[in-house]
Amino acid sequence: MSLISSHNPYVVKLYFAFRSKEFLYLVLEYVNGGDCSSMLRAVTRLNPAAARFYTAEATLAIEFLHNHGIVHRDLKPDNLMLTREGHIKIVDFGLSRRATTTADQSKSQLAFERAVRRRSRRLGWQRGGGDRSSSSSSSGDDGEREDGLAFRPIKRGDKLYSPVGTSRYVAPEVILSVGHDHRVDWWSLGVLLFEFLVGHTPFDADEMDEIYNNILSGNIAWPEEDMIPDDAKDLIKRLLTTNPHTRLGRDGAAQVKAHPFFQGVDWDTLYLQQSPFVPQLASEEDTSYFNHRAA
């Protein structure tokens, strides 16, 4: 897929590119409402309705990319821009790749499980353990395989092997270097939803190794307060399932869209609806939302 040919309202459009002797220049669609990271800094966290709206829009953006064979691999609030109407545009495709190498699924799952066992022995923990969370490693595998909802533009088994992403949003299979595919984007969506509702990511820690250990053990920092509705918590658990072979979204976006958290969402008209946050822009040239705004 070329961004030049993109006509999706949730994906930033690339108009053209040119290069000098030293640099490559990309002329992109003008989106001046800031990004979701700046929005969160200003409001700390979103109410469930707003979190549902933006997570739904992000889901449609991911679905579009996957339908065109693209794995984004770096989904985070900084890469979700806001239009002047307050709708999201996914940006920054520097780490995105096509998933084209077919791998045997049974071998892939065995490789993942071996890597987890090796890491567990080395660090002395068991998956799903830890004092700060309920286990997410087994979530999403309750026997409800919605095979009829699968899509195939990205085939199951299309794998990538380069280590990429931002530490707090990266999926376990990336850390373990066992190959990854479209399912890493659904993991990142789970991190996004948690951050929208709570105001920080679910695996926060002071040190990188501790963040990675929390991710690999499914050690989610659930808040004590009643910040997360039950349906949202269930969706987060299913998206943050450490084993990609049982993670929600493994068979496509329709699996995610069918979750009860999105009940009542009109997917076909979402972009036409009023967004929860509309940037207050003085003019078309106003770029104040790109500045760091105080909370």
Name which of 66-75, 139-148, 205-214 the model is least confident about. Answer: 139-148
Compute CA 240 distance to the chain's CA centroid, rounded to the nearest angstrom: 10
Q: pLDDT per residue over 22-61, tens digit each?
A: 998 988 888 889 899 989 998 999 999 999 999 999 999 9
CB 218 within 8 A of CB 133: yes
Share of the chain above pLDDT 90, in %: 46
* Architecture (CATH level 2) of domain 3-290: Orthogonal Bundle (1.10)
Is residue 131 scored above 70 in pLDDT? Answer: no
Is residue 185 scored above 60 in pLDDT? Answer: yes
Q: Rounded to an integer, what distance in angstroms lies between the CA atom of residue 247 and that of residue 137?
A: 9
Neighbouring CB atoms inside 10 A of 128's CB total 16
Closest by CA position to 215, among listed 110, 97, 123, 141: 123
Amino acid identity at 292: H
Q: Rounded to an integer, what distance in angstroms lies between the CA atom of residue 159 and that of residue 91?
A: 22
Q: Which residue has the tokens 């969506």?
A: 189
Q: pLDDT per residue over 80-122, tens digit each?
A: 999 999 999 998 765 556 664 344 454 455 555 555 555 555 5
Residue 146: the pLDDT is 30
Beta carbons within 8 Å of 40's beta carbon, 6+ residues apart: 46, 77, 195, 196, 199
Q: Rounded to an integer, what distance in angstroms lies between the CA atom of residue 31 and that of residue 84?
A: 7
The residues annotated as belonging to the active site are 74
Is residue 151 scored above 60 in pLDDT? Answer: no
For β-strands 97-98 and 88-90, DSSP reports them as unpaired
